[in-house]
Amino acid sequence: MSDAVLNTNTNMNAAAPRVLLLGGTGDALKIARQLDASHVYSLAGIGRVPTDLACEVRVGGFGGAEGLANYLRDARIGVVVDATHPYAAQISANAAQACHATGVPYWALRRAPWQPQAGDDWRFVDGWSGIVDALAPFARPLFTLGREPLAHLDEIPPHQFWFIRCLDAHEGNHRARVIDARGPFDVDGERALFALQRIDVVVSKNSGGSATEAKLAVARERGLPVVTLRRPMLPDADRTFDEPAALVAALRECSAINESRSQ
């Protein structure tokens, strides 16, 4: 990344750079709750939009990297914080490019991936075709990829019945059930789901974090394989953090967050 420094001239208060927080994750929401009305929390529009935040909430895209760069200039943003999902690679790429074009610092929250443990049977794949190939021997997969499987409901092999857990309410079809649910999920709930639906394989992103990790513990208990979509490459950031608290502390150090909001 560039040698960008906090652009304090983009905000009316020169000591407090205006933050654009790119979110959509639980970690991003933790950061958003520390922001006051001068800052912006941006969501792509998928899932639930919080209504109890002090900061401005913006919903919808920017029009690619060029559109985002224009927004950074027009909104006088002093720092971009990328707290999007680890698999939102296009959004991150656009953010990095826009920041480079405008000289606005690009900070990123990079959640650590899960690591396989003793007894795990993880099978790493790249892309949808790899998932399909890996699932060929199985009959009752549980997809935890988000909405992507919904585009393939007419491609389900005759020997399979799919369970798709995502944020979207969807009627599914005669060979698929869509479970519209939002984490966190606990081990007892996952045990009940796996047993009731006779799940024989899990399909997952390597998202990291604790909110959806219980499925991995239950797959381990039951000796089930986990078809794991590899993480995409993400752009380098001017500053990288692995925990929301560390990022909030850094924002506080540059006066973007008042001490009173972080208590």
In this prediction, residue 91 carries a pLDDT of: 96
Domains of the chain: total = 2
Nearest-angstrom CA–CA distance, 73 and 61: 16
| Residue 248 and residue 209 share a domain | no
Here the CATH number for the domain that contains residue 208 is 3.40.50
Looking at the structure, tell me whether residues 180 and 103 fall in a common domain.
no
Residues 69, 139 within the same domain = no
* Residue 84 and residue 73 share a domain: yes
Q: Residue 165: inside a domain, yes or no?
A: yes
State the residue range of the domain holding 71. 8-112+232-262
> Has residue 1 been placed in a domain?
no
> Would you say residue 3 lies in a domain?
no
**Helices and strands in the chain: count of H runs, count of E runs:** 7, 12
- List strands edge to edge, sheet with 106-109: 56-59, 40-43, 19-22, 79-82, 106-109, 239-241
Q: What does the alpha-carbon distance between residue 227 and residue 192 come to, in Å, rounded to a whole number?
A: 20
Distance CA 234, CA 93 (A): 7
Same domain, 81 and 128: no
Query: Looking at the DSSP assignment, which residues form a beta bridge with residue 221?
Result: none
Cα angle 62-67-70, degrees, rounded to a multiple of 5: 120
Has residue 117 been placed in a domain?
Answer: no
**258 and 243 share a domain?**
yes
Is the domain of 219 the same as that of 140?
Answer: yes
For residues 24 and 46, is the Cβ–Cβ distance under 8 A?
yes
Residues 223 and 197 in one domain: yes
Which residue matches tokens 């707290």? 83
In this structure, are 225 and 128 located in the same domain?
yes
Which residues, given as ranges, of the chain have pLDDT below 50?
A: 2-3, 5, 7-14, 261-263
Looking at the domain assignment, is residue 2 inside a domain?
A: no
Residue 49's pLDDT is what? 78
- pLDDT for res 257: 65
104 and 16 belong to one structural domain: yes
Shared-domain flag, residues 73 and 104: yes
Whether 23 maps to a domain, the answer reads: yes
In a domain, 148, yes or no: yes
Whether 181 is covered by a domain: the verdict is: yes
For 241-252, b/e burial (b = at least 16 CB within 10 A) is beebeebbebbe
Regarding whether 141 and 220 lie in a shared domain, the answer is: yes
